[in-house]
Amino acid sequence: MNPTCWSEKDGKFVVMLNASALSNGDCFARLLFTTFFGLNAVGQDTERMDFGSSVHKFIERYNARGVNEEPRFMESVSEALKILPKDQDKLNDEHLAKVCFAYQTRGAAVIGDKFLPLRHPMTGLPLTEQKFAIPLYEDDKLCILLMGTIDSLYIPRSLGPTPTGPVHTLIIGDIKTTSKQPNDYYWSAYESSLQLSIYAYALKYHANKFPDGWLGKLIGPDTEIQAFIFGCFLSTAQNKDAVTFALSPRLYSFGKEFMEEMILETITHAIEKLVDYVH
């Protein structure tokens, strides 16, 4: 079984449903294999997946560091290289370094021209890799948690870097690395994204549960949560055009009713199946 998605505590199975796994579709067999056994679908290009994960790690760590300086870049590249398998063919260390350099020189500005990273009110560091866990179900044999990691949080440039009260708009930035093309078909897939809906729901959930925390002070009853996709469209060509960076053409919005309907319908079905499986 996949130890990153389940554990056993006090005689109970603790199942961790990852928001990105749920977004794969309402297929219990796929959910079961990815959650319990950590298996990928047959025919998936694992070399591209591993390379994409390394690019994702670089961007996360680069954005999390405060000042735009050379050590920040080199440390972020080093962390990305650690998770890249050494037997990669075309998508190797050299190619990863080119993509990382491309992000530093032109990719970061794609986001920075429109949005400011939301910073922690105490540390002043950008709020990246924000993890959450929401309890969904528990009985004497089983506990189910909805979990995920939000890549980054942003605000419109007009608000300034460190708002002190509830904001009108809070923006989720989600990084996607893919070999697909940045066309209308690709972007439209996120119009009804369960994954992004869960992220928006999780922010509201934790803000309501901890109203005196930093998130509770930023998210008010009228705060609109939106999201954008930052796409890293990869090429296998060994040249300077190894990657193209692009933002989704518009922000995705998730109303309360829309979120609850999508989340409850999909997750309720998953929970019922998992309960039957465990029992």
What are the tens digits of pLDDT across the range 177-213?
Answer: 888 888 899 999 888 788 898 899 899 889 989 999 8
Q: Which two tokens stand for residue 254?
A: 């998730």
Separation CA 23–CA 269 (nearest Å): 13
Contacts with 166 (C-beta within 8 Å, 6 or more apart), sequence order: 217, 218, 219, 220, 222, 223
Separation CA 95–CA 117 (nearest Å): 28
Task: Write down the pLDDT at residue 177.
Answer: 86
Q: Which two tokens stand for residue 185?
A: 């078909």
Is the CB of residue 194 less than 8 Å from the CB of residue 23? yes
Q: Which two tokens stand for residue 204?
A: 């509201």
Q: Residue with structure tokens 């009228």? A: 222
What are the tens digits of pLDDT across the range 72-91?
Answer: 888 888 888 888 887 776 77
Separation CA 64–CA 76 (nearest Å): 9
* Amino acid residing at 119: R
What are the tens digits of pLDDT across the range 124-164?
Answer: 788 888 999 988 888 887 888 888 999 999 988 877 666 66
CA neighbor of 154 nearest in space, from 246, 233, 218? 218
Q: Residue with structure tokens 């990305």? A: 80
